[in-house]
Amino acid sequence: MPGTEYFGEEEKKHVNEVLDTGILFRYNHDDLREGIWKAKDLEAEVRSYTDSKYALAVSSGSTAVACCMAASGVGYRDEVIVPPFTYIATIEAVIYGGGIPVFAEVDETLCLSAEGVEKAITPNTKAVLLVHMCGAAADIDGIKAVCDRHDIKLIEDSAQALGAFYKGKHVGKFGTASAFSFDFFKITTAGEGGVFITDDEETYLKADNFSDHGHDHIGDNRGMEQHPYLGFNYRISELHAAVGLAQMQKLGRIRDDKRRNKKIIKDILLEVEGLEFRHMPDPEGDSGTFLNFFLPSKDKAQEAVNKFGENGIGVAYWYTNMFHYINQWGHLKNLKSIAPMAIQELDLPQDYNNLHLPKSEDVISRLISLGIRGTWTEEETRDLGQKMKGVLSSVIG
């Protein structure tokens, strides 16, 4: 559930501070802005929360992933291993960066598996774009070992995993660079927005330049400095950064609330025999945004989804009614675009219309997710848990 449930005076205060100066641009105008730097403050907050050396706030999670690709040196004709279960932005970032998405299997972690990645590697594989889906980390050790063994870069799409940790470290800290999203549906929202992180100075500087037409931002007069590379405009506005900053300062509390309510419901559903839960390589690191569970079969999952609907319980069934699984990406399978794209000229290692991903198909067709609100009262949460237990018991029993 989006961070809007936590909106309050803080968001307004930061936005008004920007409006009072009128400097909606994140660079320079030092004499007019009265010390108000929301994009910089948001970046400082993300650096501190994730313990990253560098953070760059940008216009969206999608553009943050694009920055990851470019700053990691992944581009034209490079094969990038991706999951078939993600938001389509992951795949688009590869394609518009000139690369070739290569689909590998996800498993019960809801993320790429080390085994799946290993099988998808070819001599042209340049990177793995690992997505930490639904608020928790993938099997990072397993996947990193495969990347290291084959000398492949690891890039993390952590757009859904701000507030998620793996063995004590924030996700996004395990590869060359990572992306977070502050879109309307994420744990913290700025309406639109994203943040790129890395621990490597050169990678940061490349993303910084790339996100603003290649400007190097040296000196105090943007526009008159050097521009060593071509880039594009992926800048965040100070208004969006102001909201993101207020949300970021609440993340600890949001995460605690969500984890508490998730545990209440999960404890109740643990009593349903035959119900299986998402495998989490590090349960303590979970951000708590989703409770994910598997029904014994695809038919049972569809039956449960219908019954949840009849009972007014809102769940996500990504397999058919969401835009997050490859079976709903006809445009991608047929590489349909408005204007010609580089990938349409390349020899592809996979036929996207005939992918063989039985494991992903099995896992995602049985998966149901409940978005957790942190603002539910204990009573509301228990009530929901009991109702869900009733539905699931009747379907599985």
Instruction: State which residue, 157 or 361, has the beta carbon closest to ligand PLP.
Output: 157
| Least spacing, CB of residue 357 vs ligand PLP, in Å | 18
**Least gap, CB of 397 to ligand PLP (angstroms):** 34
Supply the minimum distance, in Å, between the C-beta of residue 158 and ligand PLP.
Answer: 8
**Residue 333: enclosing H or E segment and its boundaries?**
helix 330-333
Give catalytic residues, as residue numbers: 186
Q: Which of 196, 377, 312, 254 is nearest to 4 (CA)?
A: 254
Instruction: Please report whether residue 89 would count as binding ligand PLP according to CB under 6 A.
Output: yes
State how far the Cα of 206 lies from the Cα of 196, in Å rounded to an integer.
11
Q: What does DSSP say about strands 153-157 and 79-82: parallel, antiparallel, or unpaired?
A: unpaired
Task: Report whether 78 contacts 326 (CB < 8 A).
Answer: no
Taking CB under 6 A as the binding criterion, the range among 86-94, 117-125, 145-153, 356-364 that sits at the site for ligand PLP is 86-94
Nearer to ligand PLP, 33 or 240 (CB): 240
Question: Strand pairing partners for 371?
Answer: 290
The binder of ligand PLP chosen from 50, 52, 72, 90 (CB under 6 A): 90
Q: What contacts 141, CB < 8 A, 6 or more positions away? A: 167, 281
* Contacts to ligand PLP from residues 149-188, by CB under 6 A: 157, 159-160, 181, 183
Site string for ligand PLP, 24-63 (x = CB under 6 A): ------------------------------------xxx-
- Contact flags string 184-223 toward ligand PLP, x per CB under 6 A: ----------x-----------------------------
Phi/psi for 273 (5° steps) reads -70, 135
Question: Of 381, 258, 260, 397, which is closest to residue 313 (Cα–Cα)?
Answer: 381
Annotate 124-166 with DSSP letters as a single string. Answer: TEEEEEEE-GGGS---HHHHHHHHHHHT-EEEEE-TT-TT-EE
Q: Which of residues 248-277 bind ligand PLP (CB under 6 A)?
A: none
- Residues lying near ligand PLP in the complex (CB under 6 A) are found at 60-62, 65, 86-87, 89-90, 131, 157, 159-160, 181, 183, 194
